[in-house]
Structure 1
């Protein structure tokens, strides 16, 4: 922290000095309403999680396998990977739409495409039609997934920004849970509706977004970037200060947003992808963003996400009902750990969570590999049961950081001018990593079985070293301060000081005894 920086309850001064302690998520109706609308954005990730889990469990359903001629090897890889190939087709356009027409219309556009795609997938009567629909799902999801998390982080009440944005990727598992248990139930339908019903349910989040997205506020940062400052202030005031445009927090937020956007415009009249690699600060950002995107899919989790059925079969668990049951319980386990970690990001800090996550994954993956080898050598059923236990423990470790933080950390370290493009590169990297995994994993598992796990052990060792030396702590900072951190602490402190001076406001007075009695937990929210 720069010289002279002040802290409030352990946080860098910044916006914390202007936060009204009596205004919390549980006693302020406008913050409650804002968080409710944010849930509509968070379910974008649920759609993605639903897709992965649905494709995983359909591989265990005889009705789906029979209808599509029991796909194996590269054909099975294509059925899984085509959604991400569709996503690749949307990446060149998504950030320009987010920055051009706004976050909210971009989410609506992507959701509308997904509604059409899900209808085609549900009605599919051939493998080609099913593949085409999944391509279109990926294409639409690219637009929604580019804009939704940015809108979450840009409209959140600043105290709750980090946990809410971290929940975005954590709710991947909510979709996975619905898919896992839906397919568990439809397994007993002895016709094509066994897989058509799960396919139909995949469209629910997109339908909700198409219907209700227009009630959400647009990003104040987008509004300021388009010269609509009055509307930005009104939006900030309505949701962050009960409509008071002169509120100290609203004025500080507005001045900080405007200072950052004006600075970006002064530095570069035209901001393109090239700018992500031409400045030292942006190069530091991309040196973190691209690797953690790869790590999020290349840590061994891709084996479970798409090929759990094959893993369970390899250790002698071939009963379809048992396979679906294990998958359903695993998704609930993952959601619990990921949501818990989301609410701990400000207390524990990003760096500690990332390091702890990789250490845990490496440890449990080694034991998972050993137990798989023991079963392969002598058929020991206890070793097979231990594999299941270590899969659960591995995912608990993964969910400490690589579920909640990869999205929230990416969007918070990127300045507004390149946020959409930088986040697009993050999503593109994930898609490339997924396509590789979805094609290679089934082939490698079929060829060398458990020995393939050794590759991931070596990779996790590399991940640990990389995370340890590159992740920068960002807790307690506003969105603009976090982005400025990579350009030097002097820039961050100067920007915060300028915003405070320009807003010509002073922190709200401490709450009195009467307020303390009415809001006994007022001080706790500052530590969220």
Structure 2
């Protein structure tokens, strides 16, 4: 699927030869600080994960269901879907905010909105107030979730970019774990604080971001796009080379960023949404981005993520304590596999992880379908227990790609000029898929029972075929090199002409200046 000079391995890329292998995040103070600020961005995803798991848990709390008059059917679907409807309302504005006031400004705006929304949600006195608060949470999340993963990808040290960006969506489960165990812990409280406390805890990531976001470095790519070249160079040098602006790695990154953005301005000047459909490379991007966004929500996981209590009810597990306990353990299991996969992306490769995830998910979903059918027909407790086991096995494979890779892969295949808008298309698609799931799943599950599982068996099989045909391998490439895979030699040729340093040139400069000079790639690398 990839041809020409662009299709190179990590060992052959220019950037990989400039990175000092002895410089690790744990032995360099500035890398340690950078990764600490990146964690502040990663927890944006925790807010989203918290929401899904909290709503799952609240449905098992008698204190919540009775307070809101036992919501079911379309009302229950609305309570779950309204957060994503709020995100949809923000998406028309999110990319312009991210590109206009910067990645940090967009995260700050989103965090402020979510803090206000959480306060309203916690103080809710009616179902309308609760729904309105959840809409505002989604609206704020629309801004923060557009900017945060892009900033992670654009400021990360090269060797850590892919794992850290993959961790973004993996930390969805960190929020889910806190929510699951919070609802489990408050289950026995006799008052409305059984659900108000979990509602209040949802604001923690946003509160941290409101107070700390301005300490996070701004994206060098955004700075260059706004004509702040020297500030971009200083940012790269400070975090990637201990302040040495003439370090070969920093010079390579800086020149590549400048050349790529110059290409976008001169050759690809049309950066509106129409540009996604006027070139073959952009059409390939949109096809992949829309597909993996739908796949991440339509692989059967939507049943368990938002309606686990209904799944358990259908297999005879109706005790709220048991449901909450299994939900809490499942989130820890999910986090383990998602984080493991995040650190495998540059070793195993994106294509391998996508295909393994889809293939394994299909196998275990089929097994789950068979056992749900057996329980429905014979009421076998063994079949019910097997369903639980297969849910865990299904998620072990699902989490290999559909949790860590969907965000990082989307961000890395988009050029800078289209990154905010392309990522907005991704988020918009996910919200549409979620809204559909959250409305349809409870209704379809009530109407079709176990037969509804067959729909997902067929769909996941289709996902595997699509991924086999269209997913392009991008491991160990820079953001600019990855974009060139889709745009061909025109982009790479322009970047080369614009002055991106070849590795041989950088090394010649370093050798001429001497090993102890500022040009030496190891001169300023100290623990």
**Class of the TM-score when normalised by the shorter of the 2 chains:** over 0.9
Residue in structure 2 matched with residue 319 of structure 1 by the alignment = 319
Aligned to 1:370: 370
- For 1:370 and 1:25, the matched residues in 2 are separated by 47
Partner of residue 401, structure 2: 401
Q: Is 2:104–2:214's contact at 8 Å kept on the other side of the alignment?
A: yes
- Matches of 2:6 and 2:101, distance apart in 1: 38
How many residue pairs align between the two structures?
A: 511
Separation in 2, partners of 1:92, 1:390? 39
1:6 CA displacement: 10
Matches within 5 A, 1:299-310: 299-310=299-310
Question: 1:459-517 CA deviation, whole Å, 9 max, x = no partner?
Answer: 011101100000000001011111111112574477368411499522878xx9xxxxx
Partner of 1:128: 128
Partner residue, 1:500: 501
Provide the C-alpha distance between the structure 1 equivalents of 2:342 and 2:232, rounded to a whole number of angstroms.
Answer: 28
Following TM superposition, by how much is the alpha carbon of 1:13 offset from its aligned partner in structure 2, in angstroms?
1.8
Post-superposition shift, 1:25?
A: 1.1
1:142–1:192 Cα change, 3 Å:
same
8 A Cα contact 1:157 1:240, kept in partner: yes
Tell me, in whole angstroms, the C-alpha distance in 1 between the residues paired with 2:471 and 2:341.
17
Q: What's 1:28 paired with?
A: 28
Contact 1:14/1:477 (CA < 8 Å) preserved in 2?
Answer: no
Q: Secondary structure at the match of 2:43?
A: helix
Partner secondary structure for residue 501 of structure 2? helix
3-state SS in 2 of match to 1:125: coil
Distance in structure 2 (CA, Å) of the matches to 1:3 and 1:404: 28
Shift of 1:445: 0.6
Change (3 A) 1:59 1:496: farther
In 1, distance between residues paired with 2:6 and 2:485? 13
Spell out, residue by residue over 1:22-49, the C-alpha distance to the aligned partner (whole angstroms, 9 max, x if none): 2111111101100000000000000000
Judge conservation of contact 2:263–2:491 (CA < 8 Å) in 1: no
RMSD: 1.9
Q: For the residues of structure 2 that align with 1:474 and 1:7, how far apart are their CA atoms?
A: 9
State whether residues 263 and 494 of structure 2, in contact with CA within 8 Å, keep that contact through their aligned partners in structure 1: no
Q: Does 1:43 align with 2:53?
A: no
User: Which residue of structure 1 aligns with residue 518 of structure 2?
Assistant: none
Stretches of structure 1 lacking an aligned partner (at least 5 in a row): 513-518, 523-528
Whether the aligned pair in 2 keeps the contact of 1:2 and 1:489 (CA below 8 Å) is no
Please give the TM-score of this superposition, normalised by the length of structure 1. Answer: 0.94
Cα gap change, 1:137/1:165 in structure 2, threshold over 3 Å: closer, same or farther? Answer: same
- Which SS does the other structure have where 1:500 is aligned? coil
Secondary structure at 2:297 match in 1: coil
2:349 paired with 1:349 = yes
CA-to-aligned-CA distance 1:85-109 (integer Å, 9 cap, x gap): 1011000000000001100010000
Counterpart contact for 1:293–1:406, Cα < 8 Å: yes
CA distance 1:222–1:388, change in 2 (3 Å) = same
Distance in 2 between residues matched to 1:485 and 1:294, nearest whole Å: 23
Contact kept in structure 2, 1:303 and 1:441, CA below 8 Å: yes
Matched, 1:203 2:203: yes
Q: Which moved more, 1:499-508 or 1:210-219?
A: 499-508
CA distance in 1, matches of 2:504, 2:226: 21
Whether 1:439 aligns to 2:429 is no
Residue 323 of structure 1 and its aligned partner are, at CA, apart by 0.2
Correspondence 1:237-316 to 2 at 5 A: 237-316=237-316
> Are positions 1:147 and 2:120 aligned together?
no
TM-score by length of 2: 0.94
- For 2:302 and 2:268, how far apart are their aligned partners in 1? 39
Return 5+ residue gaps in structure 2 as ranges. Answer: 516-521
CA distance in 1, matches of 2:49, 2:35: 21
How far has the Cα of 1:280 moved from its partner?
1.1
Distance 2:434 2:374 in 1: 29
- After the TM superposition, which residues 447-462 of structure 1 pair with which residues of structure 2 at under 5 Å, given as runs? 447-462=447-462
Name the counterpart of 1:170: 170
Could you report, residue by residue, the CA deviation over 1:287-314 in whole angstroms, capped at 9, with x for unpaired residues?
1000110000000000000000000111
Contact 2:18–2:503 (Cα < 8 Å) also in 1: no
Classify the secondary structure of the residue corresponding to 1:130: helix
Equivalent residues of 1:152, 1:164 under 8 A apart: yes
The yes-or-no answer on 1:230 pairing with 2:230 is: yes
Could you tell me how far apart the structure 1 residues matched to 2:321 and 2:281 are? 51
Structure 1, residues 345-387: CA drift from partner, whole Å, max 9, x if none? Answer: 0000000000000000000000000000001101100000000
Residue 437 and residue 5 in structure 1: after superposition, are their counterparts in 2 closer, same or farther (change >3 A)? Answer: closer
Q: Distance in 2 between matches of 1:242 and 1:496?
A: 27
